[in-house]
Amino acid sequence: MGTAESGQWSIGELARACGVSVRTLHHYDEIGLLSASGRTPSGHRRYGEGDLRRLYRIRALQMLGIPLASITAVLDMSEDDDLASMRVLLDRQLRHVQQHAQQVQTLQIQLGKLLDRLDTPTMPTAEQFMSTLEMITVFEKHFTPEQRQQLADKRQELGAEKIEAAKHQWATLVEEGLELIRAGTSVTDPAVQDWVRSWDGIGEMFHSGEDTKAAAREAWQENSQTISADLPWGADDLARLMAYLQKARAQ
């Protein structure tokens, strides 16, 4: 890393070592986000270890979805350059990466299905490619970075065992709801209201507030065909179920 032994780096050395452009570092300097702590006798910038740690904080906060214009204020609120503050930031970044890993796992399943189709004599259809592309964007489109972090935190808090149990319970409730619809049961029936409370109870496990619930409903409304493609129930049945659920909630 260039002059790393002396703990001082030129702007070019820092840019190359950290994977950012010199132009980016110039921009950070212009907006007062990151300025070199030293200069050579000829006036060239020299970045020290404290500058390097601040650069890391800037890049990590960007990854967490904080706008560049807000990062200065965030850093100013926590000026301590110590182990405790770095641990907090690294923990947040780790949870963000873990959440991203779960999204990647979902995408891996979709891509695996495309590869399985390639083992047959025919190319996957355009619809299958489009479905995979839609799955990539649905989550990012409807949930803010903060909401995605909240959902990831909830999943981490619950743990794999509780999440799996909730999935089985939800599947049972889907079957029960469809049976209520087929039987023509009124949404005012006490059994239906008990069913709604059980359904909403599962939702409460995964959501930290009304904002993520609203985002989830919007994601379903706009992407029900895509989301339901890998479920054992038809999109039309699930659409009827959601309408029945909303009507029952209104009671």
pLDDT in tens, 206-250: 776 666 666 666 666 665 665 556 567 777 788 888 889 889 888
Local confidence band at 3 (pLDDT 50, 70, 90 cut-offs)? very low
End-to-end CA distance of the chain: 66
**Average of pLDDT values for 13-27?**
88
- Give residue-wise pLDDT tens across range 153-191: 777 777 778 877 887 888 888 899 999 999 999 999 999
Residues 174-201 as b/e (b if ≥16 CB within 10 A, e otherwise) read bebbbebbeeebebeeeebeebbeebee
Tokens read off for 111:
């891509």
Q: What is the mean pLDDT of residues 35-47?
A: 91
Nearest one of 243, 246, 248 to 185, comparing CA atoms: 248
DSSP state of 33: S
- Residue with structure tokens 């409807």? 142
Cα 14 to Cα 146, 180, 201, distances in angstroms: 30, 64, 51
Which CATH number does the domain 4-79 belong to among 3.30.1490.20, 1.10.1660.10, 2.60.120.10, 1.10.10.1150?
1.10.1660.10
The pair of structure tokens assigned to 250 is 């209104």
* Overall pTM surpassing 0.75 (yes/no): no
Element (H, E) at 39: strand 38-39
Backbone angles phi, psi at 46, to 5 degrees: -135, 120
Residue 136 has pLDDT above 50, yes or no: no
Beta-carbon count within 10 A of 31 CB: 12
pLDDT tens per residue across span 69-119: 778 777 766 655 566 766 777 777 777 777 666 666 766 676 676 677 666
The domain spans of the chain are 4-79, 86-249
